[in-house]
Amino acid sequence: MTPHTRIYLIRHGQVAGFDQARYNGQTDVGLTDLGVEQYHVMKERLADKKISACYSSDLSRCAIGADIICGQFGIEPVKRRELRELNVGVWEGMTWQEIQDKWPEQWQARLADLVNYRVPQGENPLDVQTRLMPVIAEIVERHQGQEVLVVGHGGVNRIVLLNAIGAPLSAMFNIEQSYGCLNIIDYYADGRATVKLLNG
């Protein structure tokens, strides 16, 4: 059997304001009670796994969950700024409706070219991929043959998953990432990756 690194990639739990279509980006929004409970459910789901390391976005909605889950493994989560969600610049914290009302042309421009369009003072998915994927590669290299937990965000996770299956960034929203979901990716020494579970 070819040795591989298994990454348990989860999305953070439900956040405040979840009931409105909104771009939180890198705004440090808090978890709801359900969001915290989702982490405790995930803790039970992963209890019998042999997780030896954990990496998390440094935003609290991820870092809190990493701490909840990792206590049972006796490991200290490593907080990485590179695992943060896409920065949506001047749109941070705004609802989709507010953006459409205030920035109608820019909203349409982003819809027309999701991959390349940058919100003023923000990032596009290519920028995120550039800061994110070297960290994923570093984790895989450092933990060959091990099982690792990564706590991320909806947009970040989509980029990791698309990379694993060799799909373009333009397909970002062909993948669902529900609050508190689990993805499993196996990375092999020869560079192959296999998605074993998606949005579970």
Express each pLDDT in 3-41 by its tens digit. 899 999 999 999 999 988 888 999 999 999 999 999 999
Residue 21: predicted pLDDT: 85
Mean pLDDT score of the chain? 96
Confidence (pLDDT) at 1: 58
Domains contained in the chain, number: 1
Q: Domain span at residue 18? A: 4-197
For residues 135-162, give the mean pLDDT: 97
Domain of 188, CATH number, reads 3.40.50.1240
SS (H, E, C) the chain: CCCEEEEEEEECCCECCCCCCECCCCCCCCECHHHHHHHHHHHHHCCCCCEEEEEEECCHHHHHHHHHHHHHHCCCCEEEHHHCCCCCHHHCCCEHHHHHHHCHHHHHHHHHCCCCCCCCCCCCHHHHHHHHHHHHHHHHHHCCCCEEEEEECHHHHHHHHHHHHCCCHHHHHHCCCCCCCEEEEEEECCCCEEEEECCC
Q: How confident is the model at residue 68 (pLDDT cuts 50, 70, 90)?
A: very high
> Is 90 exceeded by the pLDDT of residue 200?
yes
pLDDT of 124 > 70? The answer is yes
On the question of pLDDT at 58 being above 90, the answer is yes
Q: pLDDT band at 2, cuts 50/70/90?
A: low
Cβ–Cβ < 8 Å for 9, 152: yes
